[in-house]
Amino acid sequence: MSLPLAGLCAIVTGAGRGLGRAEALELARLGAAVVVNDHGRPGRDGSGAASAEPAEQVAEEIRAAGGTAVPHSGDVADFRQAGELVRLAVEEFGKLDILVNNAGILRDRMVFSMTEDEWDAVIRVHLKGHFNTTRFAAAHWRERSKAAGAAVYGRIVNTSSEAFVAGSAGQPNYAAAKGGIVGLTTSTALALAKYGVTANAICPRARTRMTEDVFAGLRKPEEGLDPLAPEHVAPLVGYLASPAAAGVNGQLLVVHGGMVAVLERPCVRAKFDSKQEAFTYDELDALLTPHYAGRPAGETFAAAEVLGLKRG
């Protein structure tokens, strides 16, 4: 079997269950030594006591299959603990090569009912958690590149969502965090390219603990692989983490059920120029009101229309 990640070290956050677990197993199958991170709180809203058990179980699963793995149960949304996670990878395996940011929680509520804590908690785990690990991994790669006087090997795979692309009425915190992750990804891709590091983001659609209510109406098939199984997502993460993806940087990809779609960045749909020194209200009314007449009030990016994307 081909082992494109042999000799490389990967961190996967939120890897004790669901997508993160599938991604950690796939990276290990492709030859990487994996640091399995999971804070271990049982509630999908981030509630419950933290536990080392989920991370330890997946690390043991990897070792039982002949791979190499160590667990880490720290909270990646905590700046210090995220730094300790990266240091653990370097201490155990000599370097870090791959960072997969997956950890997240949900606290769904309509925007007019959402509490400050519900907003802050989701932004903290998703967006700040992605930043924290990225910051320490980026510093590691920059230092290595400067010491070597050459580019190094580095891959970042971040987890966004179709909730950002197409909108999600009951998830303003989650959609905002996932949009922020795309911005973080493209900024990081530009900043680290000269060091040999790529950064990309995926929008996965999968049946996990976090999405059980979203896909409640879609039954698992009695035979064969569930089209919404996390195992459909993991191979793309393995590819983006591999040497073969050296030319893929700053990209956003939707993935589910045997389908991968590469999304374009937002483009200009229409352009209007004032015939005066500056626009007036009346001129804008005459130009923009007819343009939007008849369009759905909640219309979003064209990509969402083409793909028929739904909340996920």
Q: How far apart are CA 77 and CA 90, in angstroms?
A: 20
* Residue 174: active-site member: yes
What distance in Å separates the CA atoms of residue 155 and residue 202, rounded to the nearest whole number? 13
10 Å CB burial of residue 38 (0-12, 13-18, 19+) is buried
The active-site residue out of 160, 174, 195, 242 is: 174
- Strands (DSSP E) found in the chain: 9-12, 33-37, 69-72, 98-100, 154-159, 197-204, 252-256, 259-263
Residue 141 near residue 154, CB atoms below 8 Å: yes
Closest CA to 74 of 150, 13, 3: 13
Q: Which of 73, 145, 161, 242 is catalytic?
A: 161
Start-to-end Cα distance in the chain: 33
Pairing of strands 154-159, 33-37: unpaired
Active-site annotation holds for 242: no
Q: Is 233 helix (H, G, I), strand (E, B) or coil?
A: coil
Instruction: Return the residue matching tokens 């991994």.
Output: 137
Q: Annotated catalytic, 292?
A: no
Q: Which of 128, 178, 195, 242 is catalytic?
A: 178
Contact 97, 9 (CB under 8 A): yes
Question: Any idea which residues carry the catalytic annotation?
Answer: 161, 174, 178
